[in-house]
Amino acid sequence: MAVERIDYQAGSVTGKGALVWNEKISGKRPLLLVMPNWLGVTEPAIKRAARMAGDKYIAFVGCMYGGGKTCEGPPTSQEWMMAVRQDRVEGRKRVNAALATLVAEANKRGIGDSSKKAAVGFCFGGGNVLELARSGADVNAVICLHGDLATPNPAKPGDIKAAVFVLHGSKDPVAPKADRDALEAELDGAGASWQMLDFGGRLHSFAEEETMMKGVAEYHAGAAHQTYRMLDNFIEDAFNKKL
């Protein structure tokens, strides 16, 4: 897989993301924006994007902190994440810039089909792709995996163009059932096409292999396996207008 680091303007910062694709495959492929968790554009995030891209997509790992910054975890990750979450207008600029960069860079190389775009986010990144959808971005599908669900700027009727898929752990302490209920009401009120699936008993970050915060964020192989299969099916159906 080819991995190319890309600098781009993202709101008030210069983002540094990673364009990922199988250079041995010819022809144009759909575009997949991957927004990582609160650790930033890490090597595990890039490797995960490469696995997701495979032969199917041109992927781009977006940067929400600027400079491709990464960290090892809390308290730094908490501070960086909250700084972004406290300014949702700026946050939406950054995630929209990542999508625009994916389109531009794939088109520049002649490898992307920009009529088919999807965005997947993990944890903090899940919240970011929901904000992308709320902003009215031109994207076919948005998938939030064990993400931040709440927002101070909920979508209004007609705002959301993407089909939205939310996969969550029923016992996720980071975004509890009250947040899921609020998101359901928001998506219904916005007139969005949406689906939500809860994995019984699962906690936060169940689809990320490197995760382990006992009792809070725990990887689960079965839930992860189903997640990646279902998100591919959802994206394909969104592209083909079957949702």
Residue 38, Cβ neighbours under 10 Å: how many? Answer: 24
Mean pLDDT (whole number) for 186-203: 97
Q: Provide the pLDDT confidence category of residue 213 given band limits of 50, 70 and 90.
A: confident
Give the whole-angstrom CA distance, residue 65 versus residue 225. 29
Residue 211, pLDDT above cutoff 80? no
Pairwise CA distance, residues 241 & 218, whole Å: 34
Residue 59, strand partner residues:
20, 32
Question: What is the rounded distance in angstroms from the CA atom of residue 162 to the CA atom of residue 152?
Answer: 20
Q: What pLDDT does residue 71 have? A: 93
Cα–Cα distance measured from residue 13 to residue 64, given in angstroms and rounded to the nearest whole number: 9
Single-letter amino acid code for the residue at 158: G
Going by the DSSP 8-state scheme, the letter that residue 64 receives in this structure is S
- Please state, in angstroms and rounded to a whole number, the distance separating the CA atoms of residues 39 and 143: 19
Residue whose token pair is 């689906």: 195
List, in order of start, the domains of the chain with CATH numbers.
2-239 (3.40.50.1820)
pLDDT tens by residue, 96-128: 999 999 999 999 999 999 999 999 999 999 999
Q: How far is CA 214 from the centre of its chain?
A: 24
pTM of the predicted protein model? 0.96
- Cβ distance 131 to 109 under 8 Å? no
Which pLDDT does position 132 carry in this prediction? Answer: 98
CA–CA gap between residue 94 and residue 105 (Å, rounded):
16
